[in-house]
Amino acid sequence: MGQWLLEWAKKEVVLLVATLLAIISCFIVLPDAQYAEYVHWNTLAQLVSLMLVVAGLQRIGVFRIIASKLLQKASTSRMVILVLVCLTFFSGMLVTNDVALVTFVPFAISVLIMANRDEWAPLVVTLMTLGANLGAMLTPIGNAHNLYLKALLKMPTMEMIGIMAPYTIASGIMLVLVIWLAFDNKSMDEVTADTDLEKAVLAPSPHKTQPDEIRIMGYGAGYGGWRTWVYAALFVVCLLGVGDVIPLWLMMVIVCATMIFTDHRVFRNIDWGLPLTFAMFFIFIGNMKRVPEFYTLAEHFVQFDPLGISVLTSQFISNMPTTLLLSGFSHAWTELIIGTNLGGLGTLIASMASLVSYRSIVSKFPDKKGRYLAIYTGMNLAFLVVLMPLAYFILSL
C-alpha cells in the first residue's frame, strides 16, 4: 500500500501541489458563495469528453494500426523516422500531445529494436516528443491549456489556430531538416515490408498482456470494428462542442451515455488527475485574486513581459499550471497563448507530456538516460532559440 501511494504521488505531483495551494488559499479567503464561480465548468466538460473519446480509440488500437499501415509505405531510414515524427506531430493536434506520445513512442521503440537501430532511440524519441509538443500547440484540443484559454476567452477556433500557425509551420520545417540531416537513406525493407508489422509490435508474444481488440475478438477486431465509427462520430461531436456549434451539456451527455454502452471500462482508463488539477488551480487562483496585495504584485510581474514570463515560468512548473496561474493576472492573451505553448520547449518538465517519452526511454534503455537528456535539452533549446525571436518579431508587427 505504501509503495502504491509513493508511485501515485510521483505520478500526480502537480495535482498534489495544486491541492496544497488550494487548501492554503482557503485559509486566506474563507469558503463562501463566490467559490462556485471559480471553477470553469466549460473547460472541464470539454476536457473530460475528449479524454473519454480518445481513450476509447486507444483501447481498440486504432492509432497504432494506422501507424503500422503508414510505416509499411516507408522503405528507407529517413522515411521511417519522418513517418514516426509526423505521427506525433499531426496526432498531437487532434488527440493531445500526451496521448500521441503514450501511443506512438513505445511503438517507435519497438520498431527500432526490430530494425536493430537501438542507438537511434534517444534522438528519434526526442524528435517525436518535439513533434507532439509543437504540433499540439496549433489547435485548442492539442493542449489542455489551449482548451482552457479558448473557453475562457470564447475565442473562435480559427483565431487561435491563426495565432499559433506561424510557429507550427516553422517548427515543422525545422523537424524535417533535422531528420534529413541526421538520418541516411539506407533501406529498412526488412522491417517495414513485413505485412504482420502491426501484430509484431502490438502483440510480440502471446504470453504478454495484449490490447483489448486482440484479447477479446482476435487480432485487429476488424481494425477496431464498429466501435471505430462510433468513436469517430463522438470525436466529431466533441469538435462541435468545442467549436460552440452544439451546447456543451449535450456533448457531455452524448459522449458519456455512448461510452457507458460501448465500453464502460474506458472511465477507468482516463487520467482523472488532469481535470482535478484544473479544479484545484481554479480554486487557488480564484482565492488569490481576492487578495489585493497579491493580485497587484502578480499583475505587475506578468505585465513586465507576458511572453517571456510565460516561457520562463513554464520551465519550472510546466506550461499547463503556468497558463492557469498567469491567466488570472494578465489580459495580454495573445502573448500568453504564444508563451505558454512555446514554453513547452526547454526543460524536461516544461511540458508534462515530455515525461511520457522519458519514462519510455528509461524503462527500455536505462543506460541511455544521460544521452537522452543531453539530446533532448539541446534540441529543445535550439528550437526555442529560433521560435522565441520569431514570436517577438511577429508581435512587434
Which pLDDT score, from 0 to 100, does residue 142 have?
A: 92
**pLDDT tens string 123-162:** 999 999 999 999 999 999 999 899 999 988 989 999 999 9
- Report residue 40: phi and psi, to 5°: -90, 90
**Whether residue 222 has pLDDT greater than 60:** no
* For range 19-39, the mean pLDDT: 91
**pLDDT tens string 248-266:** 899 999 999 999 988 888 8
Distance CA 253, CA 44 (A): 14
Distance CA 361, CA 55 (A): 23
Domain annotation covers residue 352:
yes
**pLDDT tens string 194-203:** 555 555 555 4
Residue 195 CA: distances (Å) to CA of 104, 117, 183, 184: 19, 20, 24, 24
User: Percent of the chain, pLDDT > 70?
Assistant: 90
Domain annotation covers residue 116:
yes
Domain annotation covers residue 27:
no
How many domains is the chain partitioned into structurally?
Answer: 1
List, in sequence order, every beta strand (DSSP E) within 107-146.
Answer: none
**pLDDT tens string 1-28:** 667 777 777 777 778 888 999 999 999 9
pTM: 0.86
* For range 303-315, the mean pLDDT: 91
Q: Report residue 31 CA to chain centroid gap.
A: 33
Domain annotation covers residue 323:
yes
Mean of pLDDT over the chain: 86
Half-sphere exposure of residue 128: CA atoms within 13 angstroms, side-chain side: 32
Which structural domain range is residue 79 located in?
Answer: 62-222+271-396
* For range 59-88, the mean pLDDT: 84
Which pLDDT score, from 0 to 100, does residue 373 have?
A: 94
Domain annotation covers residue 42:
no
Distance CA 223, CA 231 (A): 13
Domain annotation covers residue 28:
no
Domain annotation covers residue 325:
yes
Residue 347's pLDDT band, with cuts at 50, 70 and 90, is very high
Half-sphere exposure of residue 209: CA atoms within 13 angstroms, side-chain side: 1
Contact 108, 125 (CB under 8 A): yes
**Whether residue 99 has pLDDT greater than 80:** yes
Domain annotation covers residue 370:
yes
